[in-house]
């Protein structure tokens, strides 16, 4: 029985005798010595050379800083009561103001430096006026007045009064001590008077700057908007109050200086000048003085007590 082989997949049936033929030699795709052609690969176009970025100044919206420029004749028409020097100072203040760039905080600080300067000057005056010597000298004069009044009353006599010589003996040591203290106070009073005098010029300069700031604030009220105007009006009111305070300060400064001058005069040319004569007269006072001794001692005591009364 013959069995027929079935080839799956549709392959052709081999020819008879094919197995006896040698297999065909595989031929290479590329023959020896042949040159392969270059394969053109797809490529993208080369990148174009980029230019470096250039930076130029951009015109951003901002605020132009332009000072307030006003001529002196215009200021003179606006403030006819101000003198030429005050107008020049006001012009200088306005030249330092750039209305467009001042914010609310800036308007609230307008003229503040002058007010702080005034406060510092007031503190300096109070410090000088409250020196210990200023308080102690009147106390020494008052105590001296009490002691010498006791001696004068004893000279007037009376059944129950102690002898004037005994009263003076009890007070003499304290009177000598007070005389020494008053003598030492002359230098301190002179120093205080000099310190007050040195405040005169700074106070005058501060008054001029306050006036210029107040005039500038009043002028700027017409140059700013309503919001800034409200803030500036408040500052103008404050500056006007500071001007009044400065005038009061100047008055107190003059009064303090005058008081120190009076104290120096009473101490130097009054009490210290007359006390030696009192000492000399009372030293000769007997326990039972004669009418002449009583009169001369009473005369010296009355003279110096009148001086002390005027000093106090």
Between 303 and 20, residue with greater pLDDT: 303
Model's pTM, two decimal places?
0.69
Helix ranges (DSSP H) in 158-225: 164-198, 200-220
E-only strand ranges, the chain: none
Give the residue extent of every domain in the chain. 72-311
State the Cα–Cα distance between residues 184 and 276, nearest whole angstrom. Answer: 16
Q: What is the pLDDT of residue 65?
A: 66
Q: Which of 195, 201, 196, 211 is nearest to 115 (CA)?
A: 211
In the chain, % of residues over pLDDT 70: 78
pLDDT at residue 311, as a whole number? 87
Q: What's the CA gap between 206 and 113, in Å, rounded? A: 10
Angle at 245 between CA 240 and CA 251, to 5 degrees: 135
Is 90 exceeded by the pLDDT of residue 15? no
pLDDT at 160 over 90: no
**pLDDT digits over 86-137, tens only?**
999 999 999 999 998 899 999 999 999 999 999 999 999 999 988 989 899 9
Q: Over 190-201, what HEC string results? A: HHHHHHHHHCHH
What pLDDT shows up at residue 289? Answer: 84
State yes or no: pLDDT of 78 exceeds 50.
yes
Q: Which helix (H) or strand (E) holds 260?
A: helix 226-265
Mutual angle of helices 132-155 and 164-198, in 10-degree steps: 160
- How long, in residues, is the chain? 312
> Tokens 């130097």 map to which residue?
268
- Please, are residues 164 and 154 in contact by the beta-carbon 8 Å criterion? yes
What confidence tens digit (pLDDT) does each residue in 22-56 have? 444 545 554 455 444 444 444 444 444 444 444 34
């Amino acid at each position: 029985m013959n069995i027929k082989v079935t080839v799956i997949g549709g392959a052709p049936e081999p020819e008879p005798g094919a197995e006896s033929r040698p297999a065909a030699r595989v031929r290479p795709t590329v023959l020896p010595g042949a040159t392969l052609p270059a394969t053109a690969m797809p490529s993208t176009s080369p990148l174009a050379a980029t230019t470096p970025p250039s930076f130029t100044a951009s015109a951003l919206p901002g605020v132009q800083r332009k000072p307030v420029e006003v001529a002196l004749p215009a200021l003179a028409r606006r403030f006819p009561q101000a003198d030429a020097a005050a107008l020049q100072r006001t012009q200088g203040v306005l030249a330092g103001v750039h209305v467009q760039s001042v914010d609310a905080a800036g308007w609230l600080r307008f003229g503040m430096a002058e007010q702080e300067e005034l406060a510092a000057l007031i503190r300096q005056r109070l410090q000088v006026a409250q020196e210990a010597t200023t308080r102690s000298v009147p106390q020494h004069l008052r105590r001296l007045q009490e002691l010498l009044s006791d001696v004068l009353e004893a000279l007037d006599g009376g059944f129950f009064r102690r002898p004037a010589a005994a009263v003076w003996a009890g007070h003499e040591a304290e009177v000598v001590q007070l005389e020494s203290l008053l003598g030492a106070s002359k230098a301190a009073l002179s120093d205080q008077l000099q310190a007050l005098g040195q405040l005169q010029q700074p106070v005058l300069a501060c008054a001029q700057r306050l006036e210029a700031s107040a005039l500038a604030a009043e002028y700027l009220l017409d140059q700013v908007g309503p919001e800034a105007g409200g803030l500036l009006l408040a500052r103008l009111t404050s500056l006007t109050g500071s001007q009044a305070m400065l005038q009061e300060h100047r008055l107190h400064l003059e009064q303090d200086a005058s008081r120190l001058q009076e104290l120096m005069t009473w101490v130097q040319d009054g009490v210290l000048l007359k006390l030696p004569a009192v000492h000399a007269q009372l030293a000769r006072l007997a326990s039972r003085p004669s009418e002449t001794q009583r009169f001369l001692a009473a005369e010296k005591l009355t003279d110096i007590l009148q001086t002390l009364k005027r000093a106090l």
